[in-house]
Structure 1
Amino acid sequence: MDTNDIKKEYTNGEVTVVWQSGKCIHSGNCVRNNPNVFQPKEKPWIKIDGSTTEKIIDTVKKCPSGALTYYLNEK
């Protein structure tokens, strides 16, 4: 596994956020838009239960590099 291209998934049951380290340009949009979820100094750095599903989706859509994506989980 290339340690420079890690892919991790975080889910709250409704939505799953996918982060790909190799695409991340560290713009900080995620942290500024949703600091209760995106906490780069913590491990894990994405606290998926820190916000509503709608706000998480809105934040992920603002990622300029495409390092953050999401998909809705089937009910």
Structure 2
Amino acid sequence: MEIHEYSNEEITVLWMPKKCIHAGVCVKTLSRVYNPKARPWINVENATSEELIRQIAKCPSGALSIKRR
């Protein structure tokens, strides 16, 4: 399965595009991090690790997950 990784000093955000159902929870919750028009579309530097962890817990498909560094 294809997995994209986006890291800061504390965590790595994992995104599995094939699992994504495009519910938009990520974009609605942290639009400063998730911008579908940008490349890369996830910029983890625009939020704290705790904000990212809370938001990713709300992902309905499980396409986003966290790996602690």
State the TM-score, normalized to the length of structure 1.
0.88
1:5-34 CA deviation, whole Å, 9 max, x = no partner? Answer: 531000001010000000000000000111
Larger RCO, structure (CA 8 Å, separation 6 or more): 2
Q: Which amino acid aligns with 1:35?
A: S
* Aligned mates of 1:69, 1:60 — CA distance in 2: 6
Any unmatched runs of 5+ in structure 2? none
- What's the counterpart of residue 69 of structure 1? 65
State the identity %: 43
Any unmatched runs of 5+ in structure 1? none
Larger Rg: 1
Q: Superposition RMSD on alpha carbons, in Å?
A: 0.9
State the TM-score, normalized to the length of structure 2.
0.95
Matched length? 69
